[in-house]
Structure 1
Amino acid sequence: MKRQKRDRLNRAQSRGYQAGVLGRSKDNCPYQSLDNRSSWLFGWREAMTERADGLFR
């Protein structure tokens, strides 16, 4: 069960990262549950930081 939960959180983070790379707003987060939403936002923030550092256009 824990592996399954971890995979969902990993997937949320990955999707947040992709949204950040594409320059989407954090308001577009599709998740409602706190765990998934925070993972998505973590990925989004990570991508936005990398964009600011010039890794993506």
Structure 2
Amino acid sequence: MKRQKRNPNDRAFHKGYVAAIEGRNHDSCPHENGMLHQEWVNGWRQGRQDYWSGFGPAAQAQRIVNM
């Protein structure tokens, strides 16, 4: 079975979320500008919000899988 490529916007959001959970800075975004940059930042913000809200590692992993 062929493997379907992931949507680049979803991938950027996921990478931003993971970066925030790992404690990386907002400035570590690999995209200069455009839609992928915005999706990465949105993911980063969501990850930071979850981190500050007290989501534990299990809840964070659950959210990452559901993305």
Cα gap change, 1:56/1:25 in structure 2, threshold over 3 Å: closer, same or farther? farther
TM-score normalised according to structure 1 size: 0.83
Alpha-carbon offset, residue 42 of structure 1: 0.3
C-alpha distance in 2 between matches for 1:35 and 1:29:
12
Aligned partners of 1:40 and 1:26: how far apart in 2?
A: 9
Cα distance in 1 between the residues matched to 2:56 and 2:45: 14
Moved over 2 A (4+): none
Q: Is there any run of 5+ residues in structure 1 with no aligned partner, and where?
A: none
Query: What SS does structure 1 have at the residue aligned with 2:7?
Result: helix
What's the offset of the Cα at 1:32? 1.7
Give the whole-Å Cα distance in 1 for the aligned partners of 2:18 and 2:56: 11
CA RMSD of aligned residues (A): 1.8
Q: Alpha-carbon deviation of 1:17? A: 0.4
8 A Cα contact 1:21 1:56, kept in partner? no
- Which protein is bigger by CA-based radius of gyration? 2
Aligned to 1:42: 42
Task: State the partner residue of 2:33.
Answer: 33
TM norm structure 2:
0.71
